[in-house]
Amino acid sequence: MNLYKYRELNEFTRESLEENYFWAPSKETLNDPCECYYSTESYNTFMNFASSIAPQINKDELHNQFDSIQDMIKSSGIFSLSKSYSISSLWASYAQDHKGICIEYNLEDLIGKNKGLYQCFDVTYSDTPPDIGVEDLSNDVLLQKMIGTKYFDWDKEKEFRIVCDNQGKNHHRSDAIRSIIFGLKTPDESKNELMNLLSNRNIKFKQLVNDGKSYGFHIQNIVNPSDKKVGLNGSTNYEHLIPSEAHIKDDHKVFRPYFYKVAIFMESYPDCIEVAHMDFSQVSTTKDPIIYVSFKEKDSIFPYSKKFFKIKDMD
């Protein structure tokens, strides 16, 4: 899934792009004053019932459980994205009235390094805050219910959230950034500076366009003049892992040269310690060929990480 983050084009944004991290602030710093509002009417009703009719229920344990959940929310970071790059209000509010950019991220590579540290979900919009009951305390979707519900007024943002164990910097894979979309008023000097900063990273650059005949937007691709051409053939440290033609299905043999491009990428990927295996994914088809890589990744909590490369995104 690809998601979008609208940003001003300032030093903080440039640093996060260059160093491959996103910033997950606390809920108190978000711009919705009603952030994480919820009702405890059902919870309180049950506790009153337990006090008068069911004294055998351990109320202290339930209170402690509820308090620990609230403490977890206070310490969590929240990274908010959108499911669309063409929302006018977001360009105006978060991208400096079209002078900024919209970053297209791939969710799998955004959280892939340490998936266990994140919870991801769509925001639900409602006219009333969610009501929390005792039965929710052991429910896996409680965090989504408390953090992922907002008032209807915000529904045009099409928000998607990543809730992080830690606030502040969260590093991601370098190719989590799929593209940079420039706003209608992004200065040419700023565009060239950013394209030079992010050259040779397989990041696509695009220009938001309005034809003047409607309120809608579309995008046009931009060639990055700072990119250097990388050939599909050549020697790399991982060449011995590229499958021979004899081990590739006949309808996939034509895509074998792309293993060299993947190998070159993995060789330059700063967090790759060692590649263990390369092959076509089991779900790969001739219409949508996909290369699979298993590798040891720096700072990952897993012994081996996985990455998937769609050939149609590599041309």
- pLDDT average per 10 residues of sequence, the chain (315 residues): 96 94 88 77 67 59 73 87 95 95 95 85 89 72 82 91 90 90 95 92 91 84 82 66 90 92 84 92 94 89 87 82
pLDDT given at position 23: 94
Provide φ and ψ at 112, rounded to 5°: -65, -25
pLDDT given at position 235: 58
pLDDT given at position 2: 95
pLDDT given at position 207: 96
pLDDT given at position 128: 85
pLDDT given at position 282: 92
CB 276 within 8 A of CB 307: no
CB within 8 A of 140, min separation 6: which ones?
A: none
CB 69 within 8 A of CB 137: yes
**DSSP 8-state code for residue 271:** T
> Measured between alpha carbons, how far is 305 from 276 in angstroms, rounded to an integer?
10
pLDDT given at position 142: 76
In three-state secondary structure terms, 121 is strand
pLDDT given at position 73: 80
pLDDT given at position 56: 54
In three-state secondary structure terms, 244 is coil
Burial class (CB in 10 A: 0-12, 13-18, 19+), 95: buried
pLDDT given at position 76: 87
> Measured between alpha carbons, how far is 272 from 299 in angstroms, rounded to an integer?
10
Q: Identity (one letter) of the amino acid at 221? A: N
Is the Cα dihedral 32, 33, 34, 36 positive or negative?
A: positive
**DSSP 8-state code for residue 129:** P
Q: Identity (one letter) of the amino acid at 8? A: E
> Measured between alpha carbons, how far is 315 from 313 in angstroms, rounded to an integer?
6
